[in-house]
Structure 1
Amino acid sequence: MDRNIYFVGVDVGSGSARAALVDKHGVVLKSAVKDLKTWKPKPGYYEQSSNDVWDCCERVIKDVTTGINSKQIKGIGFDATCSLVALDYNGNPISISETGNNEQNIIMWMDHRAHEEANSINKTGHEILKFVGGKVSLEMEMPKLLWLKKHLPQTWKKCGYFFDLPDFLTWKATGSLTRSLCSLVCKWNYECSTKTRGWNVSFLQEINLEDLVVDNFAKIGNKVLMPGELCGGLLPNVASSLGLLEDTPVATSIIDAHAGGLGMIGTIGDNINCDMSSRLSLICGTSTCHMAVNTKPILVNGIWGPYFSAMVPNMWLNEAGQSASGMLLDYVISSHPAGIELLRKYNTGDVRAHLKQLLQTMAKSKGYQDVSLLTRNFHMWPDFHGNRSPIADPTLTGMIVGLTINSSEDNLALLYLATVQALAYGTRHIIEALVQAGYEPFKSLLICGGLAKDPLFIQIQADSVGLPILKPHEKESVLLGSAILGACASQYFNNVETAIQNMGGKADVVKPTAHMKQFHDKKFKVFIKMFQDQMQYRNIMNDT
């Protein structure tokens, strides 16, 4: 009998660690969350503690497995943000911070300190850069490693191991030094195609990181596994701490956004094409990641990839995104005088609900059928934290047109709406780049993450791109994705594809509002013009 078989999915996001108890049908039965510590020593610097991250993981795993027979927990999967973890030769945390505090040993994905290092890498024009849209991002690991070597040389000498955070978690759980193909290919410039697989020595030498080649790449990993492959079993001390069985299978990890893509991509919606390459997955949290898979490699300027087997085995992945989405919406609220007052009364979710109600009242008073019409003369370019895709320029900044001397709640509601729209136009900009490069037109979007709980955000995404959006019934797609990996490692399912088919579940379909197409087409023209104008301003100021 396999009626009571469970898998545990663990997700480490930007602000919290979460775990879920998931059954064989992909239903999340129980979940838990624990907030993480984050240091912000300078503007653009974001640091965390690997000790704190692991402690939080243990707590949430114990929370969801308490009262469950440990024999019924068949596999565990981990996902996490693509943040850089530094350890010494004994496996202890070592500071990556100028403060010297060893607890601050993680440079987060959103950390933008390595701007100069990213530029220097891109100036090499190395052939491998074609797999990251032509430019390495300062959010990736090689620029951060180069920053560490350049700015903290004594620390650099003491570093014995570097992990992407998802791989750090599997190492803590199993003691295995294996790395995930997902993390290395997507964030470490590791080569993987149908013909080539491995670290590119000439690239490491050319960017002044040749010391990572020493001892067969011991510091950055020399054994690489596919997400979902058996990484190892729980160590005795870890199993004892968690109250689980020693050697419980642990899957090779995956990046958090990719876990969301994995958890959604097999979702079934009424009358919606199920072909994976016809779908674009949006994982919307602090930032938004846009995941597209194809049977053939497609190079897209300004968009990462193609990465072979980085998310779905034997398919090529292109990864785009917006560096700030949920973070931007939070900032818009917290920096506005009316938002400051509202946050004293309500939590962030209730503030957003209040603003949506205001927008509906405002639209009704003007006789508008749709709230989006309120921003006919209010426009935003949303790159307050740089552009990840498809322009791939971290120096881009935000722009707003339509400001008045008005600090009312109504004004904040308009600003909030314009921000939601701008994020949707960013998705449309990414879709156009993918299709122009060779993707067939997409048939639908899939959406998960914190912003997927907002009906206004989803509807405006659908209206802006003119495509239906699938909203999975299982709201925790990221946790489901990591649990799918645990199911594969346990051998309950033979491979990732079978696990996706059996655990993917169903989705509600949100259709675009047909009569709003012309309005959003016009707004998108303004959106692109704002970018062009920003470039013109720079050219004027740089003209000698």
Structure 2
Amino acid sequence: MKSKYLMGVDVGTQSAKVVIFDLDGNAICEGKQQLRKMDIPAPLLAEHPDDDLWDSLKVAFRRAMQRLGERGGRPQDILAMGLCIVRCCRVLLKANGELAYPVINWMDKRLNKPYEYIDAYAGVKYVTTTSGYITHRLTGEFKDTCANYIGWWPMDNDTLDWSTDPAAWQSCNLTREMVLEVVKPGEILGHITQQVAQQLGVPAGIPVVATAHDKAVEALGAGSLDEGVALISLGTYIGAMVHGHANVKDAQNFWPFQASIPGRYLYECMGVRRGMWTISWFRDQFGAAALSEAHDAGVSIEELLNQEAECVPAGCEGLITVHDWAPPSEAEFRKGAMIGFDGRHTRAHMYRSVLEGIAFTMKNHMDKMAQELATPFKSLIISGGGANSDLFMQIFADVFGIPTCRNIMKGSAAVGCAINAGMAVGVFNDYEQAAQKLVRMGDSFVPDINNHRFYNQLNQQVYQQVNKHLDPLLQALSPLVD
């Protein structure tokens, strides 16, 4: 019997990726393309240039299909593809489905408010998400997943469909004619058109399957289905989440979102905006001096920085990084900060401090969620490219004080896509069976008890106190420079 395949389509803030799996969960091949640098027309605005999401995705598809052929795979054996595109963006479409305005990225302050028409939006027929847009590009259908509508949308998370409350529509400045049809995760959105098939190198007619928003897809693909098992997703936005069974009302320290499993929910606390972007920023701005050293050692600049930072003690000898390079919507005046410099500090201290600051921030947000849910965390799963760093993994284990593991495939969103795709075409009996088959656990890291005790002191006595002291200064600074 010839091998059959499932395809995961994963477009994030920084790259587009297409991964092809066999039905046993083995990643057969991958195509990837970096997205272009974001347009920043003014402070706290962020737009994807031109038609970059689609253009990058086309390249990723062609590369994946080329590699499938090189490995002897047959395109006609692809059963279905699951679609996961970066969440919390706003896409404005013309009546024919083309972009009426550049895709507004989730880091843009306009996303903190409902859609408002301005003259620059002339010709807008539909207001949708990135997944709705890419679904139309692939299939010609005006459909989307019900589970990618987060924030200012009239979505009913109990019925998994559009709200029937007129006030909900009015509060979002939308009407039913301005949005797309929705389907549940694991249902078919449409099929690849003949025209698109020629552009991408895939067979026409392949089912395109709905997933959820990107973090929910990662949670499914990471295997974090059990109670007390939390996923930390290391992306441009770093999020933390656990699965649940109820649409919790009036939660104070987390949001209940639709999960990639229909009828289940994902509880997500506040995260770190521009989280892994901050690490890339540090590498690009301060790593140039280390390039020759990395070349001589035969390692990447990231590997060299990690090796150097492993020699720095926990707490970076007093250097603290506050991760507000992209501030939260409730405090747009905040900015990133590094404090505590003295003559001991090197680039290795700075790099490790960036990593520790992420771990501290996530722990403080996650502790509040765990307390409200009355469910302490018993283990962590870390996904995303940052999980490749043994140093980063150990920092998470030490800061949280619980076992921390990573999967063999760090980009778990693609795995989640394949699970949803397989459910749509009857490959798996249920989501638990699919996760057991496709999710591959990797290395586990045990906390160092001495480091954990020290990190607790540093967090409680210093890190948790920083914002209340910096906020008055940053409130005075913001109107002068923004």
The 5 Å alignment of 1:302-341 reads 302-303=253-254, 305-307=255-257, 309-320=258-269, 321-336=271-286, 339-341=287-289
1:532 paired residue number? 468
2:252 maps to 301
2:416 to 460, 481, 485: 481
Taking structure 1 as the reference length, what is the TM-score of the superposition? 0.78
Deviation at 1:31?
0.7
1:244 aligns with 2:202: yes
Distance 1:195 1:239 in 2: 31
**Is 1:466–1:517's contact at 8 Å kept on the other side of the alignment?**
yes
Q: CA deviation at 1:12?
A: 0.9
What is the alpha-carbon distance in structure 1 between the residues aligned to residue 185 and residue 164 of structure 2?
Answer: 18
- Partners of 2:303 and 2:319 in 1: CA distance: 21
User: What do the CA deviations read for 1:315-349 (whole angstroms, capped 9, x no partner)?
Assistant: 2212232102111122334444xx343358769x8
Deviation at 1:499, TM superposition (A): 2.3
Distance 1:467 1:189, change over 3 A: farther
Aligned position for 1:508: 443
Q: 1:220 to 1:496 in 2, by over 3 A?
A: farther
In the alignment, which of 380, 387, 392 is matched to residue 328 of structure 2? 387
One-letter identity of the residue aligned with 1:311:
S
How many Å separate the matches in 2 of 1:345 and 1:89?
54
1:342 and 2:290 aligned? yes
Q: Distance in 1 between matches of 2:340 and 2:423?
A: 52
Task: Answer whether contact 1:279 1:442 (CA < 8 A) is retained.
Answer: yes
Change (3 A) 1:331 1:58: closer
Distance across 2 between alignment mates of 1:355 and 1:230: 44
Is the Cα–Cα contact under 8 Å of residues 27 and 474 in structure 1 kept in the other structure?
no
Q: Give unmatched runs, 5+ long, in structure 2.
A: none
Counterpart in the other structure of 2:212: 254
CA contact (8 A) 1:464 1:517 kept: yes
Answer yes or no: is 1:276 the counterpart of 2:226.
yes
Partner Cα separation in structure 2 for residue 162 and residue 319 of structure 1: 25
Which residue pairs with 1:118 in the alignment? Answer: none
C-alpha distance in structure 2 between counterparts of 1:224 and 1:499, whole Å: 24
**Residue 353 of structure 1 corresponds to which residue in structure 2?**
303
* Alignment partners' CA distance in 2, 1:497 and 1:450: 25
Quick check: 2:217–2:259 contact (8 Å CA) kept in 1?
no
Deviates more, 1:54-63 or 1:80-89: 54-63
Equivalent residues of 1:9, 1:76 under 8 A apart: yes
CA shift at 1:194, angstroms?
Answer: 5.8
Matched letter for residue 402 of structure 1: G
> RMSD between aligned alpha carbons?
2.8
Q: Give secondary structure in 1 for the equivalent of 2:149.
A: helix
Higher normalized contact order (CA 8 Å, seq sep 6+, divided by chain length):
1
1:179, distance to aligned residue in structure 2 (A): 1.8
Alpha carbons of structure 1 residues 541 and 261: separation in structure 2 relative to 1, 3 Å: closer
For residues 444 and 119 of structure 2, what CA distance do their matches in structure 1 show?
55
Question: What is the letter of the counterpart of residue 380 of structure 1?
Answer: T
Looking at structure 2, the residues matched to 4 and 540 of structure 1 have their Cα atoms a distance apart, in angstroms, of: 62
Shift of 1:248: 1.3
The residue number in structure 1 matching 2:104 is: 107
Q: Is the 8 A contact 1:191 1:200 kept in 2?
A: no
Cα 1:333/1:504, change in 2 over 3 Å: closer
What letter is aligned with 2:325? Answer: F
Aligned length: 465
Contact 2:324 2:335 in 1 (8 A): yes
Hey, what's the Cα distance between the residues in 2 that align with 1:27 and 1:446?
20
Tell me how far 1:302 sits from its aligned partner. Answer: 4.8
Q: What does 1:48-197 align with in structure 2 at a 5 Å threshold?
A: 48-49=48-49, 51-66=51-66, 67=69, 68-82=73-87, 83-95=89-101, 105-112=102-109, 114=110, 138=112, 143=113, 145-146=115-116, 149=117, 153-185=118-150, 188-193=153-158
Q: Report which stretch shifted further, 507-516 or 15-24.
A: 507-516
Tell whether the 8 Å contact from 1:468 to 1:509 is kept in structure 2 after alignment. yes
Gaps of 5+ in 1: 96-104, 115-136, 267-274, 364-370
Task: Please report how far the alpha carbon of residue 401 of structure 1 lies from its aligned counterpart in structure 2 after TM superposition.
Answer: 2.2
Q: Which moved more, 1:413-422 or 1:153-162?
A: 153-162
Letter of the 2:99 counterpart: P
Q: CA deviation at 1:493?
A: 2.2
The share of aligned pairs that are identical, in percent, is 22
Partner of 1:23: 22
1:151-209 deviations in Å (ceiling 9; x for gaps) = xx2333410122211221122111221221111146635221169852643133245x1
